[in-house]
Amino acid sequence: MPDTDLPPLPAALWEDLKVATTATLSTVLIRRGLRATMMQGVLPLRPGMRVAGEATTLRYVPAREDLSDPALLANPQYPQRKVVENVAAGKVLVVDARGDLRAGILGDILMTRMAVRGAAGVVTDGAMRDAAGIRSQRWPVFAAGVHPAQHTDRHLAVGIDETIGCGGVLVRPGDVIVGDDDGVVVLPRAVAAEVASAAREQDQLEAFVQRKIAAGSSIVGVYPPNDATRAEYEASRQV
């Protein structure tokens, strides 16, 4: 389905994702039987980065010498250049690089262009180049590694807004992408709002539990919380 045909997501979803962590989102997803949603080996290039937004996708295939002329980077219709120049505000660019870390798929100048356009961030199972420049921008970039080589040495961009794989997870345009220091989780669009709401509630409860433990409480009956602890938590919310 084209991205423009997707119904809008509720505003409450984005408020919930300001609180919900990827660790808790993963727990909620697993409870719903959705285990193949957590990317492997994809982490923030700078600690403390966080990203949340709808996915737009870019797909790379292995480069072949007769097709990987660096001159194609001057073509505005080349998928890599086209997606950077046209990415919509609030979107997370998710890039399928097949886990190949032998060349950087994007660099700091292209990151700057997307940041200026209002994109939410980039997630890839490939490598980035210009790592120092990207880290200095403090814009959310999640990758499996870094490499100095230009992407045309190993990759050829071929598709925008297709269903892809990234970090071992299927990603469809419009899925909700969330990343933090623990990694990246994909929320299938159809269940994103309910998963985010449940995760926010769980994280708020666990923040209460954390305060009790820090104050000297035993974990017995507190983590996981029993009925008495839950009642205490509910009472604290009324204050």
Structural domains in the chain, sorted by start:
3-190 (3.50.30.40), 195-237 (no CATH)
Partnered with residue 214 across adjacent β-strands are none
Return the closest-CA partner of residue 205 out of 182, 181, 232.
232
What's the pLDDT at 216? 97
pLDDT tens digits in sequence order for the chain, 239 residues long: 345 578 999 999 999 999 999 999 999 999 999 999 999 999 999 999 999 999 999 999 999 999 988 899 999 999 999 999 999 999 999 999 999 999 999 999 999 999 999 999 999 999 999 999 999 999 999 999 999 999 999 999 999 999 999 999 999 999 999 999 999 999 999 999 999 999 999 999 999 999 999 999 999 999 999 999 999 999 999 87
| Pairing of the two strands 164-166 and 169-171 | antiparallel
Report the alpha-carbon distance of residue 175 to residue 6 in Å, rounded.
Answer: 10
What's the pLDDT at 3? 52
Residue 230: CB atoms within 10 A of its CB come to 14
Q: Which two tokens stand for residue 7?
A: 């119904």
| Pairing of the two strands 121-124 and 91-96 | parallel
Report the alpha-carbon distance of residue 9 to residue 235 in Å, rounded.
Answer: 32
Report the alpha-carbon distance of residue 166 to residue 225 in Å, rounded.
Answer: 35
3-state helix, strand, coil in the chain (%, to 5): 40, 25, 40
pTM passes above 0.75: yes
The helix (run of H) or strand (run of E) holding residue 212 is: helix 192-214
What's the pLDDT at 1? 35
Which DSSP string do the residues of 5-42 spell out, in sequence order? Answer: GSPPPPHHHHHHHTT--HHHHHHHHHHTT--TTB-SS-
What's the pLDDT at 84? 98
Displacement of CA 226 from its chain's centroid (Å): 33
What's the pLDDT at 2? 45
> In the chain, how many H helices and how many E strands?
7, 12
* Omega cis (within 30) before 225: no
List b or e across 57-86, with b for residues whose CB sees 16 or more CB atoms inside 10 angstroms. bbbbeebeeeebeeebeeeeebbbbebbee
What's the pLDDT at 238? 86
What's the pLDDT at 93? 98
